Structure 1
Amino acid sequence: MVTALYRRYRPENFAELIGQTQVTDPLRTALRTNRVNHAYLFSGPRGCGKTTSARILARCLNCAEGPTDTPCGVCPSCVELSRDGSGSLDVVEIDAASHNGVDDARDIRERAVFAPARDRYKIFILDEAHMVTPQGFNALLKIVEEPPEHVKFIFATTEPDKVIGTIRSRTHHYPFRLVPPAQMLDYVEHLAREESVEVAPGVLPLVVRAGGGSVRDTLSLLDQLIAGSEDESVEYERAVALLGYTHAALLDEVIDAVARHDAAAAFAGVDRVIQTGQDPRRFVEDLLERLRDLIIVGATSAEGAAAVLRGTPEDELERMRAQAVAFGAVELSRAADVVNAALTEMTGATSPRLHLELLVARVLVPASDDTHRGALARVERLERRVGVADAAAAPAPAA
């Protein structure tokens, strides 16, 4: 039985927590200057470190060398609150989703009166705090407002607006946020090296994209790919199939066909999407993502594109640059608008294949677009045919 990645690599101090400096820096300063509040509210998307930060804060407060911003890791309290620890009697973690009523709040009040069994503070961590009923919060209000000297409260929630205002106003509120893709990519690359797993080029950016900025979700997906890999190697084809994304080769096929105005090849690509059982809406999302990448590649230098599209292999960047040139800036922008509009129309559609084929038709035929961008696309196409663009781009002869 193997422990999940997100549990094996759960941070044990604030320095190990990634992407949350707006929270960790002021908390560490408060710990160093001994200005710790009696109640905290940690809010933010799922899997971004709220409950982990609550445990780290409890570890910092009850460390034998503390309160400190860097727990020692060897004292009884630190060992019990480590990622593999058994838990501490003086740190009470409560699932507020199932303990959310008045009786549960009264139980917390009664337990808060008693002094800690061994450590400096008795700390109550209420996870999913937004699930507590208004009556439950009101029953907690007095103890949260004026707790005994030895009591600290930490509320963790994904929906801070559901925590009643009288509780929120008595806490220090720290909003967590999703981890940026570049930082997440560095992190999963580091974990892959730690796990001695060889990952094919292009896989980790897909994992980061699928994780959506949530560290736990991203590590769960990476763990799933590693578990299903052979010879400690994660292959691109298997990752694409498991994550549900469109294979880069199929995207290239459709993009190249549209750039050449080859309707037969474009519709053949659409047919492959359907015949392989892929979700048409997911294909359109991936197509829009690729068009966005082409716009970036076409508008920036090679170094700039590599910096923005981190994790993209060099050969793929070169291929995308050729595709961007084949399309042209105006046509790329128009195609992205058409695909984006079609993606909205496909929500709840009863015939997604029909919408997908109509989308390809609209992208292929600028004449069907009577907007300003459609007119510009037609002009650009004519200029390409007569060589005006090439002549304009050529350097003037020396005098």
Structure 2
Amino acid sequence: MSKSIRGGRDLRHPTPTGRVTLSGAATRLTCVDAPLALYRRYRPETFAEVIGQEHVTDPLRHALGGNKVNHAYLFSGPRGCGKTTSARILARTLNCEQAPVADPCGECQSCRDLARGGPGSVDVIEIDAASHGGVDDARDLRERAFFAPVSSRYKVYIIDEAHMVSPQGFNALLKLVEEPPPHLKFIFATTEPDKVIGTIRSRTHHYPFRLVPPKTLGDYLLRLCEAEQVSIQPTALPLVVRAGAGSVRDTLSVLDQLLGGAGPEGLTYELAVQLLGYTPDSLLDEMVDAVAAGDGGTVFGVVDKVIESGQDPRRFAEDLLQRLRDLVILVAVPDALTTGLLELPGDRAASLQQQATRYGPSELTRAADIVNDALMEFRGATAPRLLLELMCARLLVPTADSTAQGFAARLDRIERRLAMGVPAAEQAAPAATQAPAVETPPAEAPPAPPWDASPSKEPAAPEPDQDSQERTVPEVAPEPSPAPVPAAPPVTAAAPAGAAEPGALGIADVRRLWPQVLEAVKELRRFTWIMLSQNAQVVGLEGATLTIALVNTGARDSFVNSGSADFLSTALEQVLGVSWRIEAIVDPSVDPKADASPVGASAPQPPSSAPRASGGRGMTAPAAVREAMNDPSPGPVDPDAAVDLDDPVVDSGGDPEQLLSRELGARVIDEISHD
């Protein structure tokens, strides 16, 4: 059956309406061609229509308008950013009948031939160097380059993928590029300018193209959707921009695919997620919230959903890393959404702001590093689900990370817990319950032993008789006095009402804040402060019971008998807002400096009897104790003023060395004289 083409057109050149009619003796049918691809239908025709490359188009327009055009140009940059299109626009502007002009007129024959969808011009030759980059092709080009243009002002060679030209081919073109005839112009376009030999690059004007910013590309896509009369959801637009990765051609190809599959409702978020393979925001929200709460069941449930729905584990990790990146920026810059640093719809912005409050900056950066490292491991992995589950396990267990980031992540959690769950000094327990028990002083307080103020003499300690020793020892026996011991149960009973929830703080938190607790004890009672700072250390916390270890039995008994536990409980309530029961044990291996050294707490010098330098003379043991107690009177003092009624351990007479050994666990050594 013979066929003819009406209108004298070939099928390779469709009519303006895209409709070609075939007729024959027995049949007549009509072919309707599909429209051109989106990136071809909207290819720019002037430099003003090129987006995101103002650093290139503006200088070129000024050079064209001022007739300062070079004989050779090198356009470089990523794929799809407008290199070849700009080369065509440059050739069109050079051959415009109105030249020199910054923009082509669009009315002359040359402008119409080189316009979008035009037939082209014989004086503008495009060469694909990927298939014509040999030395023979370069010689052929050199022989034909000397012929004058047919109908235009210049003969323009556009060499695309110039990095594919062999070194021999470039060397064959070198002389022609260096000294071309007046009617000849060269435009090299390449994605890898470093592969163009230096002798060619040095003879060209180099213009580097860049990827288009997401905001500029998003606005451009909105204009195209309006021109195509297709609606697009605001949440779907960032997915298209992200899929294009800054390349205009790639982005338009993705948009063309989505518009072709869109229904009457337009381009929706669900369609973009399904076709592009991205993770839904609801799944990312579930993962981020579960990691913040330490909910392992939900985390691994999300992993199961990812695998069961057929999603790529690597793509899920990429999307999770992108979400963590947004949260890192939002935590570092709280107004990132209002200043345009983050482009998110209103509902998504509110969700991210809520998630950002559940993380600290160290936690987010550590989580992002873990996900980024996992992405490196996904390359060539044979068990991607296993790698994804291991990544989630590392996200859930920051305590297993001994690096600086792991410590910083744990510190973020502690500070956030203290800020949210443990208010300072906001407990409403009755003051009578929280106040320490006041002990009744002895009926007859014997005078304190007179200390000798002279540093060069031995302390004048009276020689106690046998009757005095027999009368004194039973009074200081290490048996609990009736006053402070009954005070412990009321503190325990009042703990649930006036304190924070038991277990809200850990032993590490108490040790970190221990110097502040000692400062509070110092304001309440000096003796308890000396006892804790020199002889005690925090060793355990179980429920509402705090365990304090002292160096020896004498120090423990002195702590218990003096009612110091009540003062410590009051200090803990003031600093931590808790009401705990204090339990004192004996552990000779404790090191009080381990708890008291941080935060710069001012701990007193130990009340040792060792000599100290003071004007070249030794200091006796009682003088050292007096100095630690900040007693301004170095000599004998009034008994009534020397005895602190709140300190029952300051007993009646007796040998001071025995008192120090019994109450503080000290051992007095011989005094060194410097006379």
Normalised by the shorter chain, which TM-score bucket?
Answer: over 0.9
Aligned equivalent of 1:213? 246
Matches for 1:190-205 after TM superposition, within 5 Å: 190-205=223-238
In the alignment, structure 1 residue 290 sits paired with structure 2 residue 312: no
Aligned equivalent of 1:242? 275
Tell me by how many angstroms 1:302 deviates.
Answer: 4.1
In the alignment, structure 1 residue 104 sits paired with structure 2 residue 149: no
Q: Distance in 2 between matches of 1:204 and 1:304?
A: 17
| CA separation of 1:232 and 1:96: change in aligned 2, threshold 3 A | farther
Which secondary structure state, in structure 2, belongs to the residue aligned with residue 326 of structure 1?
coil
Which of structures 1 and 2 has the larger relative contact order (alpha carbons within 8 angstroms, sep 6+)? 1
Aligned equivalent of 1:82? 115
Aligned equivalent of 1:22? 55
Q: Distance in 1 between matches of 2:326 and 2:61?
A: 39
In the alignment, structure 1 residue 124 sits paired with structure 2 residue 152: no
Q: Distance in 2 between matches of 1:4 and 1:298?
A: 42
Which secondary structure state, in structure 2, belongs to the residue aligned with residue 327 of structure 1?
coil
Q: Distance in 1 between matches of 2:241 and 2:142?
A: 42
Tell me by how many angstroms 1:116 deviates.
Answer: 1.0
In the alignment, structure 1 residue 263 sits paired with structure 2 residue 296: yes
Q: Distance in 1 between matches of 2:362 and 2:422?
A: 15
Scaled by the length of structure 2, the TM-score of the pair is: 0.56
Cα contact 1:296–1:305 (8 A) shared by 2? no
In the alignment, structure 1 residue 328 sits paired with structure 2 residue 360: yes
Ranges in structure 1 where 5+ consecutive residues have no aligned partner: 395-399
Aligned equivalent of 2:502? none
In the alignment, structure 1 residue 364 sits paired with structure 2 residue 396: yes
Cα contact 1:226–1:232 (8 A) shared by 2? no
Tell me by how many angstroms 1:125 deviates.
Answer: 0.7
Q: Which moved more, 1:264-273 or 1:95-104?
A: 95-104
Matches for 1:1-399 after TM superposition, within 5 Å: 1-231=34-264, 233-302=266-335, 304=337, 307-310=340-343, 312-387=344-419, 391=423
Aligned equivalent of 2:575? none
| Code of the aligned partner of 1:355 | L
Identity of aligned residues (%): 64
Q: CA offsets, 1:14-66, max 9 Å, x none?
A: 11111111211111111111110111111111101110000000011000101
Q: Which moved more, 1:216-225 or 1:135-144?
A: 135-144
| Code of the aligned partner of 1:367 | T
Tell me by how many angstroms 1:250 deviates.
Answer: 0.7
Q: Say which structure is richer in helix.
A: 1
Aligned equivalent of 1:397? none
Q: Distance in 1 between matches of 2:130 and 2:214?
A: 31
Which secondary structure state, in structure 2, belongs to the residue aligned with residue 94 of structure 1?
strand
Q: Distance in 1 between matches of 2:421 and 2:167?
A: 67
| Code of the aligned partner of 1:377 | A
Q: Distance in 1 between matches of 2:306 and 2:282?
A: 12
Q: Distance in 2 between matches of 1:66 and 1:170?
A: 24
Q: CA offsets, 1:345-384, max 9 Å, x none?
A: 2222221111111111111111111112212222332343
Q: Which moved more, 1:237-246 or 1:327-336?
A: 327-336
Which secondary structure state, in structure 2, belongs to the residue aligned with residue 154 of structure 1?
strand
| Code of the aligned partner of 2:206 | H
| Code of the aligned partner of 2:160 | D
Ranges in structure 2 where 5+ consecutive residues have no aligned partner: 1-33, 427-675
**Count of aligned positions:** 392
| CA separation of 1:190 and 1:281: change in aligned 2, threshold 3 A | same
Q: Distance in 2 between matches of 1:232 and 1:153?
A: 48
Q: Distance in 2 between matches of 1:206 and 1:299?
A: 24
| CA separation of 1:102 and 1:385: change in aligned 2, threshold 3 A | closer
Q: Distance in 2 between matches of 1:390 and 1:17?
A: 58
Tell me by how many angstroms 1:180 deviates.
Answer: 1.3
